[in-house]
Amino acid sequence: MSDTVISFRALLLVNEQRNAYGLRYGDYTRYRKHCANRTHRLRHSLKFTHGKGKEFKKLPPITPEVVNCGHLQLLLFEAERAWAHSHELISLSLDPTKVDKRSAFRRSATSRFRRAINWSTQLLSLAQSLYASKRLSAENILELTTYSLILNGRFLRSREEQLPDALSQLGIARYLLDNLCAQATSSRDQALATSLIDEIGPEIRYCAHQLGSKKAYDVDGIVKELVAIHKDKLVQDCDNILDALKGEAAGAAQGLPKQKLNTPMWEGKPVPVRNPELVDALLKVQEAEAKLSPGKKSSGGDKVQLGTNTTKRSVGAYDAVLSALSDSEEVARKQVETQQLSGSTAAVSVGGRDIEFVHAFIVYQLLARRTERDHLLINALLSSHQPRMPRSSLERGQVDGRLFPAVVKLLDTVLQNLAQMRTLSVVDESPDLSSGVDGRISFTKSRRCFFLARCYAPLKRYAEALALVQRSQLHLREARSVISTVSEGGSGLAPSTSFYPLADSDCDTLDEEMLRVGSELKRDWFSFNGGSPTPDNESHKKPLFFDIALNYVELDMDQLQARAGKVPTPTPALIKPQPQLPLVQKGLALKAKAEEITRPATPEPQAETSRGGLSSLLGGWWGRKLS
């Protein structure tokens, strides 16, 4: 075990653990608990515990002969645990509800920070002994040295009387990070070093400003001055370690290809990518884009003959690119949310491009690739139903009824992508690009109306189809006017719109096709029902106005005729014949009538005088009168 080479990336491990367990959103309590659990598991796996009995068992010393990667991780997570606990106590001291315990919290925080420095010092001394025995690489020892310097510098920065020492510690850490960034073998390592440089840069400016430096803004100049004085004091054998780092980087470049990310460009300027997670996601995007065929791009106006297998392969390649871009967009969006929640100002590169700009750039690329994929599917659908020479008007309309609705659905998706693209800040800030996107939106609307009109033609709804063709011509006219104002290719710095090529020839082709289809629709409409707006001419129509008065008011027709000068002719009264009854029934009816006439009226009952007392009560009970 004493000859085993150990690979221990301290800065990379710390960055991953902090982002994954709470520090992305400033949750120091969660990160402290994670470090405690991690150290507990490491001690059990290394059998480095005090035992469970009542008798205390002293831990054996960690010597270079028995050390492995687990021992280094144990010391690192002990330092991280104490550091996170210190920040947790500092946040508690700022709580207005715990003013009486503020000084106690600050003393405890200082004690925990000192403990973190103690653990990091043990880790660095053990790493130096491993490097001396050639069991640790120069890159690993530089990362551990940088970690220890940053931790010491931040502790000293909190004490006003030790600001010069803090400035020297942070300045040398910045110098080591610059060398790690320059000799990085991958874009991920380069982004990791760059992110740490961005973190400690403001701290160096603060220390220099507090010390009265007139050039506190010039961080690079301050670092150069500090390196000449404190480099050999703070870093043991610094020059030899840096030379060994260059040799390792050269050997890695010859042995394995570098995982370098092609620098994304926007308006002739590079787009900064300063986060290791985002670099990994964009590397996957780059690998997926390399699998796209050279002839992958097809515009809305191109008519490319695509085979079934070629289309499937191209769509699969686009799906892989879109999946990688979606992951990249999620990583960038989380970083934007972290920046907004923390309220801090992210590092801005030259040109003023921060993480919000990077997120908008990735969303633009995602929408552009979606648009390319949709156009590929549209061209595949149209090429699979190429019209042959029609022998008659009946054969001319024989097209699969699912074709044009599918094309319209894809064009709806294209419109949605372009509309979302138009709202991006990177598009809105570029006049040429915003005009180009507007022109493509109008052209896509024109194509959508055109294919929607062709959906109505098989249903014999020619009026709606011709109205849609006219609307399509209006959108096409708008697209022509917008395209004519855009100076594409003039300066060469405008963002590329190659995902949706659009030229005047495409507009001319669509215009000719609309004229041809419009003439066919008019001829078919005339041959169908003579150009009537309704499918059949004998359809019932309701009257335009209803005579409401005749329906609801009884009119005096005699008076109206008299006012009109017409004498109404009297109509003789009709005598209604009486029905003849049989003799027996007639006699009975007369007798009943006579009895009804001679019958005397029934007198009304007289109300008796009410009797009170016991007699009325008992009479009510037994139903008889009591005298």
Cα–Cα distance between 301 and 295 in angstroms, integer?
Answer: 15
**Residue 360 · residue 424 · CB < 8 Å:** yes
Question: What is the model's pLDDT at position 350?
Answer: 41
| pLDDT of 253 higher than 90 | no
What average pLDDT score do residues 561-575 get?
72
pLDDT in tens, 379-399: 988 887 665 544 444 445 566
| pLDDT of 57 higher than 90 | no
Stated pTM of the model: 0.75
Each as own residue / partner, the long-range contacts of residues 527-535 (CB below 8 Å, 24 or more positions apart, any chain) are: 527/393, 528/460, 528/462, 533/463, 535/460
| pLDDT of 226 higher than 70 | yes
Helices (H) and strands (E) in the chain, counts: 22, 2
Cα–Cα distance between 89 and 25 in angstroms, integer?
Answer: 17
* Cα 301 off chain centre by: 30
Question: What is the model's pLDDT at position 300?
Answer: 44
pLDDT in tens, 194-214: 999 999 999 999 999 999 988
| pLDDT of 252 higher than 60 | yes
Name the token pair of 218. 């010039």
| Residue among 450, 482, 306 nearest 385 (CA) | 306
Q: Give the pLDDT band of residue 489 (cuts 50, 70, 90).
A: very low
Q: Give the pLDDT band of residue 544 (cuts 50, 70, 90).
A: low
Which is more confident, 539 or 511? 511
Q: Give the pLDDT band of residue 445 (cuts 50, 70, 90).
A: very high
Range in 29-33, 189-193, 358-362, 622-626 the model is least confident about: 622-626
Name the token pair of 605. 């009952």
Question: What is the model's pLDDT at position 490?
Answer: 45
Q: What is the dihedral of CA 591, 592, 598, 604, to 10 degrees?
A: 160
Question: What is the model's pLDDT at position 4?
Answer: 83
What average pLDDT score do residues 159-171 get?
91
Average pLDDT, the chain: 82
Query: Coil, strand or helix: which one is 622?
Result: helix
Question: What is the model's pLDDT at position 157?
Answer: 92
Q: Give the pLDDT band of residue 26 (cuts 50, 70, 90).
A: confident
**Residue 371 · residue 418 · CB < 8 Å:** yes
| Residue among 171, 179, 128 nearest 153 (CA) | 171
Question: What is the model's pLDDT at position 520?
Answer: 87
Question: What is the model's pLDDT at position 197?
Answer: 94
Name the token pair of 335. 């970083």
Q: How do strand 269-270 and strand 265-266 relate by DSSP bridges?
A: antiparallel
Q: Give the pLDDT band of residue 244 (cuts 50, 70, 90).
A: very high
Question: What is the model's pLDDT at position 89?
Answer: 94
Which is more confident, 56 or 351? 56
Burial class (CB in 10 A: 0-12, 13-18, 19+), 219: buried
| pLDDT of 515 higher than 70 | yes
| pLDDT of 493 higher than 50 | no
What average pLDDT score do residues 242-255 get?
82
Range in 25-34, 514-523, 595-604 the model is least confident about: 595-604
| pLDDT of 362 higher than 90 | yes
Q: Give the pLDDT band of residue 401 (cuts 50, 70, 90).
A: confident
**Residue 420 · residue 367 · CB < 8 Å:** yes
pLDDT in tens, 67-123: 889 999 999 999 999 999 999 999 999 888 888 889 999 999 999 999 999 999 999
Question: What is the model's pLDDT at position 343?
Answer: 64
Share of the chain above pLDDT 90, in %: 46
Q: Give the pLDDT band of residue 495 (cuts 50, 70, 90).
A: low
Cα–Cα distance between 96 and 110 in angstroms, integer?
Answer: 20
| pLDDT of 25 higher than 90 | no
pLDDT in tens, 318-355: 999 999 999 999 999 998 988 887 765 555 554 447 88
Q: Give the pLDDT band of residue 556 (cuts 50, 70, 90).
A: confident
Q: Give the pLDDT band of residue 529 (cuts 50, 70, 90).
A: confident
φ/ψ of residue 474, rounded to 5 = -65, -45
Percent helix, strand and coil across the chain, each rounded to 5? 65, 0, 30
Cα–Cα distance between 268 and 224 in angstroms, integer?
Answer: 31
Question: What is the model's pLDDT at position 85?
Answer: 96
Share of the chain above pLDDT 70, in %: 77
* Cα 192 off chain centre by: 26
How distant, in Å, are the alpha carbons of 387, 403, 457 from that of 520?
A: 15, 19, 10
Burial class (CB in 10 A: 0-12, 13-18, 19+), 326: middle
Question: What is the model's pLDDT at position 606?
Answer: 55
What average pLDDT score do residues 542-565 get?
70
Question: Alpha helices of 499-582 — where are they, by DSSP H?
Answer: 504-529, 548-552, 557-563
269 DSSP 8-state letter: E
**Residue 381 · residue 407 · CB < 8 Å:** yes
pLDDT in tens, 269-285: 888 888 899 999 999 99
How distant, in Å, are the alpha carbons of 122, 160, 170, 249, 299 from that of 144?
A: 11, 26, 14, 18, 53
Q: Which CATH architecture has domain 1-53+60-136?
A: Orthogonal Bundle (1.10)
**For the chain, what are the domain ranges?**
1-53+60-136, 137-259, 269-386+397-529
pLDDT in tens, 107-141: 999 999 999 999 999 999 999 999 999 999 999 99
What average pLDDT score do residues 615-627 get?
53
Range in 60-69, 270-279, 551-560, 590-599 the model is least confident about: 590-599
The three-point CA angle 390-393-399 to 5° equals: 65
Query: Coil, strand or helix: which one is 126?
Result: helix
* Cα 136 off chain centre by: 43
Name the token pair of 61. 């010393």
pLDDT in tens, 180-195: 999 988 889 999 999 9
Question: What is the model's pLDDT at position 24?
Answer: 87
Q: Give the pLDDT band of residue 521 (cuts 50, 70, 90).
A: confident
